[in-house]
């Protein structure tokens, strides 16, 4: 039973990676331009942690154990061509199972996510994100962490890109955890 949950999580991740690769291969070469100095981009993304491993206890949980949907909204400014500074806000809600009385609110996380990003090759980008979370685990508990992100952005209009990414969040104040989160979203050059 537990093996099948891990297998489903891996297949879902491979599906996200295959979809991102297919979109990138089908995108016209002229549409792969990176951000230019002075560009301002507004972003909206959704993600769900597929797997999370607690380094202190050795316990691994998957989306089959806990479904928490995260929304990220933010703005980014390109300091120079291909390099941006940005700030996202994270809002997360636990969808399943419903938290018990000792588990706090359904509203699981609010975080500030300052970041630096780099459009390193064609439509591919990466970012280093700092997590400053004054609300975690459904309570006013402070957490801090880092996230590494790798993604692809494919233009669908002159100023609009559809994005897909995978992030690896590492939190280390409340609990030392590392996870894997696929993201889908849209970015709009203002």
pLDDT at 105: 85
DSSP lists the bridge partners of residue 4 as none
pLDDT > 90 fraction of the chain, expressed in percent and rounded:
68
pLDDT at 20: 53
Angle at 75 between CA 73 and CA 77, to 5 degrees: 160
For the chain, the straight-line distance linking the first and the last C-alpha, in angstroms and rounded, comes to 48
Q: How is domain 2-189 classified at the architecture level of CATH?
A: Beta Barrel (2.40)
Contact (Cβ atoms closer than 8 angstroms) between residue 187 and residue 157:
no
> Average pLDDT for residues 28-39, to the nearest whole number?
70
pLDDT at 84: 97
Q: Which two tokens stand for residue 175?
A: 């609990």
For residue 185, pLDDT beyond 80: yes
Contact (Cβ atoms closer than 8 angstroms) between residue 181 and residue 151:
no
The chain-wide mean pLDDT, for the chain, equals 86
For residue 29, pLDDT beyond 70: no
Query: Tens digit of pLDDT for each residue in 70-100?
Result: 999 999 999 999 999 999 999 999 988 887 7
> Average pLDDT for residues 135-156, to the nearest whole number?
94
For residue 130, pLDDT beyond 60: yes
For residue 31, pLDDT beyond 60: no
Query: Tens digit of pLDDT for each residue in 43-64?
Result: 999 999 999 999 999 999 999 9
Q: Which two tokens stand for residue 64?
A: 């089959």
Query: Tens digit of pLDDT for each residue in 100-126?
Result: 767 778 898 999 999 999 999 989 999
Q: Which two tokens stand for residue 102?
A: 């000792």
Please indicate, yes or no, whether the overall pTM of this predicted structure exceeds 0.75.
Answer: yes
pLDDT at 32: 44
| Spatial distance between the Cα atoms of 134 and 188, rounded to a whole number of angstroms | 28
Q: Which two tokens stand for residue 141?
A: 């508990």
For residue 22, pLDDT beyond 70: no
């Amino acid at each position: 039973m537990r093996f099948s949950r891990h297998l489903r999580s891996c297949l879902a991740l491979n599906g996200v990676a295959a979809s991102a690769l297919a979109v990138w291969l089908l995108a016209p070469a002229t549409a792969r331009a990176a951000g230019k100095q002075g560009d301002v981009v507004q972003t909206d993304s959704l993600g769900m942690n597929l797997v999370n491993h607690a380094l202190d206890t050795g316990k691994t949980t998957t989306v089959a154990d806990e479904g928490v949907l995260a929304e990220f909204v933010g703005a980014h400014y390109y300091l120079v061509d291909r390099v941006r500074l940005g700030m996202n806000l994270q809002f997360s809600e636990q969808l399943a199972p419903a938290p018990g009385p000792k588990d706090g609110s359904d509203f699981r996380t609010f975080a500030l996510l300052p970041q630096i990003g780099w459009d390193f090759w064609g439509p591919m980008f990466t970012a280093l994100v700092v997590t400053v979370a004054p609300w975690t685990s459904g309570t006013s508990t402070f957490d801090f962490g880092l996230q590494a992100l790798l993604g692809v952005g494919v233009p669908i209009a002159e100023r609009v890109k559809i994005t897909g990414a995978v992030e690896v969040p590492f939190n280390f104040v409340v609990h030392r955890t590392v996870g894997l989160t696929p993201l889908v979203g849209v970015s709009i050059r203002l």
